Amino acid sequence: MNEAKVEGNKLFGEGLYDEALLKYDHAIQLAPEMSASAEIRAICHNNRATCFFKLEKYEDSVKECTKALELNPTYMKPLLRKAEAHEKLENYDDAITGKYCDYHSFLYRSVVAVSYSTSCEST
């Protein structure tokens, strides 16, 4: 499973997005439907979303981001990527306030994370 993901990352780095999509899909198929594998599946869905975004297939990017966020609702990368894809599709309302995905949510989570880390440092 990780080997397929690593191969996908290599192909992505070479700009071979269609080939990378296949590797990430293979990694998802190899990951069992267990909570312990949810993180790797979320990462692979996010990576697929990024490939689709690079290929200007924004609707597919939104779908993959949604899958990643269903597996890990606190995952920031697909949250932001989904908002960006909605923006490219000119779905501005969804980009700002969509379920799982919006700039407001991203900014709020970023501020909370920074506030939390700052408060932990001072104790």
Joined tokens for residue 13: 């780095």
User: What angle do the packed helices 2-13 and 17-30 form, to 10 degrees?
Assistant: 170
Domain that holds residue 68: 2-121
Are residues 12 and 30 in contact, defined by beta-carbon separation less than 8 angstroms? no
**Phi, psi of 50, rounded to the nearest 5 degrees:** -65, -40
Q: Report the length, in residues, of the chain.
A: 123
Q: Which CATH number covers residue 52? A: 1.25.40.10
- Nearest by Cα to 83 from 55, 62, 107, 53: 62
Structural domain count, the chain = 1
Q: What is the pLDDT of residues 27-47, one digit of tens each?
A: 999 988 776 789 999 999 999
Report pTM. 0.78
Place of tokens 């609707």: 59
Q: What is the pLDDT along the chain (123 residues), one digit of tens a residue?
A: 689 999 999 999 999 999 999 999 999 999 887 767 899 999 999 999 999 999 999 999 999 999 999 999 889 899 889 989 999 999 877 777 665 545 556 555 555 554 444 444 444
